[in-house]
Structure 1
Amino acid sequence: MADTQLDQFLEEATITAEDPSDPTLGRDSLYGLYTSWCLLHQSAPQPESAFWAVMKTKGIHPGRTRLRMRGPAAADYILASYPNLV
């Protein structure tokens, strides 16, 4: 996965939580957000193992991401995760 794709995903679909006590994205949610972002950009998501390998090079580790979701990919992910909301 190209770093530019991951950088674009992080820029468009995430924001860093300012308060350490704020809830943040866990492993499954961050990868799910990524797959939603890929769907909206009409690109095939990378396997989860490749995704996390690149995320770790950026200092983002499962379980302590300090990231929150935002933007169109967040809406898509939430609606896909909770279909009864529609």
Structure 2
Amino acid sequence: MTPQQIIQFLQDCSIRAAAGNARLDADASYLLYVSWCGLNRKVPVPHQAFRTALRMAGLRPAKKTPHH
């Protein structure tokens, strides 16, 4: 079961890319979530629990691309 807090975060902050496949990587997604928690006075779940919740919601963050 996906925690209600994660569901609310996804509803508030998720957008569907109109064109292309633009996605945030796992670290950027978590940082956005932590910022959202701060703004909403919520305690963030640990990083691994966040990733698990995303998988349970059927979402997979983009893989990190190496910087050149």
Judge same fold: TM > 0.5, yes or no. Answer: yes
Query: What is the number of residues matched between the two proteins?
Result: 63
1:9-55 deviations in Å (ceiling 9; x for gaps): 0111121112124x321111110100000001111111100001111
Change (3 A) 1:62 1:10: same
Give the secondary structure class of the aligned counterpart of 1:63: coil
| Greater RCO (CA < 8 Å, at least 6 residues apart) | 2
Q: Which runs of 5+ in 1 are unaligned?
A: 65-86
The Cα shift of 1:5 comes to 1.1
Moved over 3 A (4+): none
Q: CA RMSD in A?
A: 1.9
* AA of the residue aligned to 1:12: D
Amino acid at match of 1:27: A
Distance apart, 1:2 and its partner CA: 5.6
Which structure shows the bigger proportion of residues in strand conformation?
A: 1
Q: TM-score, normalised by structure 1?
A: 0.63
Which residue identity is paired with 1:26?
A: D
Q: 2:58 corresponds to which residue? A: 59
Q: Please, what TM-score do these two structures have when normalized by structure 2? A: 0.78
Identity between Structure 1 and Structure 2 (%): 35
More helix by share: 1
- Report the AA paired with residue 29 of structure 2: L
